Amino acid sequence: MNVAIAAVETSSIAQGMVVADAMVKTADIDVIESAMLSPGKYWVLIGGGVAPVRAAFQRGVEVAADTLLDSLFIPQLHEQVLPALRGTARAGGAGAADDALGVLETLTASAAIRAADAAAKAAAILVRDLR
């Protein structure tokens, strides 16, 4: 399980790949996702122990330089966030009272993860999907 996660989003696909390379060379981390988000935008999402993730994140932000769109570092990620991002979130059990739906829209993927983590930590909710 990844205790900490970090992400770096860039406005350049090529620079995003350079960022990913620098991050994995900096520390022993897991690459959760390294992909184009939309035309011209790239992100790298990593996980692992707090210290290695922090080191790789700091290096990624440094390498991104002026292409940096957004970034995040969460040392204690809520357990529901990654399954929602992967599309493997559990459904409500029998008799679950899913009588409300909340939708958050953000400009960046990093902001969406920060919002989902904060919401899950603030209330007894089920994070079902994160895109």
pLDDT band at 94 (very low <50, low <70, confident <90, very high): very low
pLDDT band at 14 (very low <50, low <70, confident <90, very high): very high
The strand ranges marked E within 1-131 are: 4-10, 30-38, 41-48, 68-74
By mean pLDDT, which of 4-18, 50-64, 109-123 is the weakest? 109-123
By mean pLDDT, which of 2-6, 13-17, 91-95 is the weakest? 91-95
For the cut 70, the answer to whether the pLDDT of residue 95 exceeds it is no
How far apart, in Å, are the Cα atoms of 89 and each of 61, 69, 83?
A: 29, 28, 5
